[in-house]
Chains A and B, each alone.
Chain A
Amino acid sequence: MSIEVTAVSKTFGDSVVLRDVSLVVPDGELAAVLGPSGSGKTTLLRIVAGLDQPDPGRGTVRLDGEDVTDTPPGQRRVGLVFQHYALFRHMSVFENVAFGLRVLPRAGRPSASDLRERVTRLLHLVQLDGLAGRYPHQLSGGQRQRVALARALAIEPRVLLLDEPFGALDARVRQELRRWLRRLHDELHVTSILVTHDQDEALEVADRVVVMNAGAIEQVDSPDDVFHRPRTEFVVNFLGAVNRFAGQAQHGRVTFGSIALPHDHALEGHARVFVRPHDFELHAAPNGHPGVTATVLRVHSAGPSVRVELLAVSGETLTVEVSHEVQRALDLRRGRMVVATPRRIQVFAGPPRTDAW
């Protein structure tokens, strides 16, 4: 069942949290809303759930085509998983999962045996068999998160909303859980929105990534497109480390530092150029391609790739990522002179910025 958010604005007091946000998540898709804290992503999720309302007359929410803007949360049939789980701490795991079924109107309430069967099935689905009698405080963070998920799924929601579901977990559990969540989604095919500030999580799990910044959507695309074809500077910056240069564009060429490269934007004048660390090649000497001559400041080789910090002769510092083979071949170490050649660049219009991004 699709989720359709149309032209939603939301203000709290003086601060504008969402400005004219529109988003469509087609039936069966898992969309990740990615953004820094304060970008409005959680508010957007709460508006879909019905816990917050758009400003009066400023936007609608549709689930499966039905306008639910004025429907209270309990009648929307959405499953919501909270960042801090919000489990009922005085109830056992079983009762937590059963809650949504127990509060149904008498006519729709399942019988005791039916309820037991459904809860048991859900606990099996989230791999918590045998923990039905435990209380939340007796569970690990990952287990609590799965109880919260089972509880949300118990009401057979039309859509599933996850607010930073792995935010409070340590790195390894996070990775396991998000892969598991992706497999679960492929099994259940329930339309889902996952809110996160972790770009790896968004890029790995989602069918579609929605990048938000300052209450507005910057880009909605597949994970590949968001990463390789960012539409705005913000997206470039948010999706990982990047080197920034101030440059000039003229006649289909962009010049920054000692480099001049062709580019295909219809752009003239001030330009901002972005190069990811892994989009640089390092050479021992100029090789005919345009490059930056620089001195190695520092080499971090403890990791799958080697991160090299360089000081360009023009005064900028660069971060470059190369393989261990390249490091050995060039014998990279402090003080060595190298030439850094960009393989791919991203160019946006605009004068140099001095503020921190």
Chain B
Amino acid sequence: MTTRRPLTEPAWARRIVMGIALAFLGAFLVVPLVAVFVEALRRGVGAYLDSLADGAALHAITLTLVTAAIAVPLNLVFGVAAAWALAKFDFTGRSVLIALIDLPLAVSPVISGLVFVLLFGRQGWLGPWLASHDLQVIFAVPGIVVATTFVTVPFVARQLIPLMQAQGTGAEEAAAVLGAGGWQTFRRVTLPNVKWALLSGVILCNARAMGEFGAVSVVSGHIREQTNTMPLHVEILYNEYNFVAAFAVASLLAGLAVLTLAVKTVTEWKSS
């Protein structure tokens, strides 16, 4: 007696398809990830910790954390505001705003960096004004923060918009009729309904903020102990053939990626 259902492929076909998917994931995702940690620990745990305790490495880690600590909250506020506006209100320019939010994903990060050089650089549009006020943006920390913020604009907003659109405005209207003010409605109704998506967006935003290379590379100037973030520091160390140190710093970023995925999985599971 055969019990084949219409959509049941033969076992060999299923195995081949699954085999292709797993082999691809293994070759392109798992092996490189493992390699990072293997290389970082090649000379032992002592050498690994030493390379992380190095002054330049510590400075790069600090700068990365500071950059993320500014860029992520900015995008959190912007993302929530944009998603709220797009999901709950109909206004002219709505579709333009949606398209603009995706712009940083569509543009190569190097181009984004170049745009900021064009704006804030010495020969840039705002260059003379900045120079006369003794403000340095390009080849300094402000430039890194601006470039990082730009590149990470989409993450929070994109997590929230579809969810908030799907949820509609019913709960908000119910709250308004029951006498809640705008802030009360936001804090007690809107925010709790999107909290997991928000957390997921913040985590992705943070991962990108810490890992961004292209745009930061253009505006930073690669000044060691001044404008080097972790990804830039990895590149410098690698170019100096200091593989253990390069992979040690890289392992921190890889660890962040793994942690990000873990937390994101949990938030998605919670929100569903």
Q: A74-B180, A104-B179 are in contact. Are A88 and B173 (CB under 8 A)?
A: no
Instruction: Determine whether the beta carbon of B173 is less than 8 Å from that of A74.
Output: no
Could you tell me which residues of chain A, from 55 to 113, have a CB within 8 Å of some CB in chain B?
Answer: 72-80, 82, 84, 86-91, 99-100, 102-104
Q: Which residue of B lies closest to A49 (CB)?
A: B177
Instruction: Determine whether the beta carbon of A80 is less than 8 Å from that of B177.
Output: yes
Instruction: Determine whether the beta carbon of A99 is less than 8 Å from that of B188.
Output: yes
Instruction: Determine whether the beta carbon of A151 is less than 8 Å from that of B178.
Output: yes
Q: Does chain A have a CB within 8 A of B174?
A: yes
With most chain B CB atoms within 10 A of its CB, the pick from A73, A76, A89, A91 is A73
Instruction: Determine whether the beta carbon of B180 is less than 8 Å from that of A78.
Output: no
Tally A residues with Cβ within 8 Å of B.
29
Q: Which residue of B lies closest to A84 (CB)?
A: B170
Instruction: Determine whether the beta carbon of A88 is less than 8 Å from that of B179.
Output: no
B171's partner among A73, A74, A88 (CB-CB below 8 A) is A88
B176's partner among A74, A87, A88, A102 (CB-CB below 8 A) is A74
Instruction: Determine whether the beta carbon of B176 is less than 8 Å from that of A103.
Output: no
* Bound complex: CA A103 to CA B178 (Å): 8
Q: A82-B170, A103-B184 are in contact. Are A88 and B177 (CB under 8 A)?
A: no
A99's partner among B170, B173, B175 (CB-CB below 8 A) is B175
Q: Does chain A have a CB within 8 A of B55?
A: no
Q: Which residue of A lies closest to B176 (CB)?
A: A73
* Bound complex: CA A316 to CA B189 (Å): 58
Which residues of B sit under 8 angstroms from A151, Cβ to Cβ? 174, 178
Q: A89-B193, A90-B192 are in contact. Are A74 and B179 (CB under 8 A)?
A: yes
Q: Does chain A have a CB within 8 A of B181?
A: yes
Instruction: Determine whether the beta carbon of B173 is less than 8 Å from that of A51.
Output: yes
Q: Which residue of B lies closest to A78 (CB)?
A: B177
Which residues of B sit under 8 angstroms from A155, Cβ to Cβ? 178-179
With most chain B CB atoms within 10 A of its CB, the pick from A72, A78, A90, A102 is A90
* Bound complex: CA A84 to CA B181 (Å): 22
Could you tell me which residues of chain B, from 15 to 41, have a CB within 8 Å of some CB in chain A?
Answer: none
Which residues of A sit under 8 angstroms from B188, Cβ to Cβ? 88, 99, 102-103
Instruction: Determine whether the beta carbon of B180 is less than 8 Å from that of A99.
Output: yes
Q: Does chain B have a CB within 8 A of A50?
A: yes
* Bound complex: CA A50 to CA B174 (Å): 11
A50's partner among B177, B180, B184 (CB-CB below 8 A) is B177
Could you tell me which residues of chain B, from 183 to 205, have a CB within 8 Å of some CB in chain A?
Answer: 184, 188-189, 192-193
Q: A82-B174, A88-B174 are in contact. Are A103 and B192 (CB under 8 A)?
A: no
A74 to chain B, nearest CB (A): 4
The binding surface of chain B is classed by DSSP as helix
Which residues of A sit under 8 angstroms from B181, Cβ to Cβ? 74, 103
How big is chain B's contact interface, by range? 10 to 19
* Bound complex: CA A155 to CA B175 (Å): 12
* Bound complex: CA A51 to CA B88 (Å): 13
* Bound complex: CA A154 to CA B192 (Å): 22
Instruction: Determine whether the beta carbon of A99 is less than 8 Å from that of B178.
Output: yes
Instruction: Determine whether the beta carbon of A86 is less than 8 Å from that of B193.
Output: no
Which residues of A sit under 8 angstroms from B178, Cβ to Cβ? 74, 99-100, 103, 151-152, 154-155
B199 to chain A, nearest CB (A): 14
Q: Mark B142-184, 1 if CB is under 8 A from A, else 0.
A: 0000000000000000000000000000110111111111001
Which residues of B sit under 8 angstroms from A77, Cβ to Cβ? 179
A86's partner among B173, B179, B180, B192 (CB-CB below 8 A) is B173
* Bound complex: CA A74 to CA B182 (Å): 10
Which residues of B sit under 8 angstroms from A49, Cβ to Cβ? 177
* Bound complex: CA A151 to CA B178 (Å): 8
Q: A51-B173, A82-B174, A99-B175 are in contact. Are A88 and B180 (CB under 8 A)?
A: no
Could you tell me which residues of chain A, from 100 to 135, have a CB within 8 Å of some CB in chain B?
Answer: 100, 102-104
Which residues of B sit under 8 angstroms from A99, Cβ to Cβ? 175, 178, 180, 188
A67 to chain B, nearest CB (A): 19
Instruction: Determine whether the beta carbon of B174 is less than 8 Å from that of A80.
Output: yes
* Bound complex: CA A178 to CA B164 (Å): 33
Which residues of B sit under 8 angstroms from A75, Cβ to Cβ? 179
Which residues of A sit under 8 angstroms from B192, Cβ to Cβ? 88, 90-91
Which residues of A sit under 8 angstroms from B171, Cβ to Cβ? 86-89
Which residues of B sit under 8 angstroms from A86, Cβ to Cβ? 170-171, 173-174
Which residues of B sit under 8 angstroms from A104, Cβ to Cβ? 179
A82's partner among B173, B179, B193 (CB-CB below 8 A) is B173
* Bound complex: CA A48 to CA B94 (Å): 29
Instruction: Determine whether the beta carbon of A73 is less than 8 Å from that of B170.
Output: no
* Bound complex: CA A73 to CA B175 (Å): 10
Instruction: Determine whether the beta carbon of A74 is less than 8 Å from that of B177.
Output: yes
Instruction: Determine whether the beta carbon of A88 is less than 8 Å from that of B189.
Output: yes
Q: Which residue of B lies closest to A100 (CB)?
A: B178
Which residues of B sit under 8 angstroms from A87, Cβ to Cβ? 171, 174
A89 to chain B, nearest CB (A): 7
* Bound complex: CA A75 to CA B176 (Å): 9
Which residues of B sit under 8 angstroms from A100, Cβ to Cβ? 178-179
Q: Mark A338-353, 1 if CB is under 8 A from B, else 0.
A: 0000000000000000
* Bound complex: CA A82 to CA B181 (Å): 19
Q: Which residue of A lies closest to B184 (CB)?
A: A103
A51 to chain B, nearest CB (A): 5
A356 to chain B, nearest CB (A): 33
Pull 10 A–B residue pairs with CB atoms less than 8 Å apart, ordered by A.
A50-B177, A74-B180, A75-B179, A80-B173, A80-B177, A86-B170, A88-B171, A152-B177, A152-B178, A155-B178
20 new A-B pairs (CB below 8 Å) besides A50-B177, A79-B177?
A: A49-B177, A72-B176, A74-B176, A74-B181, A77-B179, A78-B177, A80-B177, A82-B170, A82-B173, A87-B171, A88-B171, A88-B174, A88-B192, A89-B193, A99-B180, A99-B188, A102-B188, A103-B175, A103-B180, A155-B178
